[in-house]
A and B are shown apart, each in its own frame.
Chain A
Amino acid sequence: MWELAPYLMTPIVMIGAWLTGSFLERRHFEDLLRLESGSRDVLAITVEDLPEGWEVERCDLVIGNVVISQDYFKRVAASIKGIFGGRIGVFEPLLERARREALVRMKEQARDHGHDTVINVRIETSALARARSDAKGTAGVEVMAFGTAVTLRAGARKQVGPGGGVPL
């Protein structure tokens, strides 16, 4: 019985990683919904030129970043799937989580500085260390969102849709 233990280690770690990883992922998505609705008063746009009539009082560079990694089970699953090619679905939620988190952090930093709008938002993704083919390397990705946070002069009206921001 006990001599089997070393062989059972890997499957146990993998199943444990899968369950914990999936749980953390679900919880993160719930957190993101809450955080995103909390930062809706900050409007983020990728447009650089401000629409006419928007007068800027002051501005700051704001950055939000996050380093996130995939769980061991999904990393192995992705490397197996990688042999056959095609869509690697397990990595899509990871990048989505990272991007949304980075955007929220950027917006929160903007709000900490007292701004209500971020213009010229850019999102950059970089792999921190190359994942090894045996799925043991760090598969961390960093997502950074940055932009110029601005405060509009009082009285300036901003027109926004139902999706983002609130009217001044």
Chain B
Amino acid sequence: MLISNTQEIPGKTVVEFFGVVSGSTVRAKHIGRDIAAGLKNVVGGELRGYTELLAEARGEAIRRMSSQAEEQGANAIVNVRFATSSVAQGAAELFAYGTAVRVE
């Protein structure tokens, strides 16, 4: 599955559009990570636990989006966008969406 945030896949031509595909996941912070992050929050700096958590979750959202595109018979997703929203205190939704296409 080719994934790109550009209008088309560079070096290929879009031959068929399949419509919007999306994937999302909601993650809450882990208690252990939260304590560590709480301590780190005093002195500031990178909250590594959260960085990894979000990267992981975004990967999951992309995987869900790709499998949805695959089901439709697409071989690429173009114009991918991301959205992050805090749905509740301590939980975030990671959302990825794009247009499933077939390229040659």
Interface residues of A (CB under 8 A from B): 13, 16-17, 20-21, 24-25, 28, 48, 50, 55-61, 63, 65-72, 74, 94, 101, 119-120, 122, 124, 126-130, 138-140, 142, 144, 146-148, 150
Contacts and interface: CB of A to CB of B under 8 A. Distances in A.
Given A69-B45, A74-B44, 8 more contacts: A20-B43, A24-B44, A59-B4, A120-B5, A128-B50, A129-B90, A139-B41, A147-B5
Main SS at interface, chain B: mixed
The 5 closest A-B pairs by CB, nearest first: A71-B44, A56-B11, A56-B10, A67-B50, A21-B44
A139 B62 CA distance: 27
A74 B6 CA distance: 39
A50 B10 CA distance: 8
Interface residues on B, range: 20 to 34
Contacts of B9: 59
Contacts of B10: 50, 56, 59, 119, 148, 150
Contacts of B85: 126
B47 A129 contact: no
Nearest to A22: B44
Contact of A55 (B2, B3, B11, B86): B11
B84 A61 contact: no
B82 A146 contact: yes
B84 A126 contact: yes
A150 B4 CA distance: 10
Given A24-B45, A69-B47, A144 B6 contact: no
B5 A148 contact: yes
A57 B40 CA distance: 43
Interface stretch (B13-21, B51-59, B67-75): B51-59
B92 interface: yes
A16 B6 CA distance: 46
A144 B5 CA distance: 14
A67 B44 contact: no
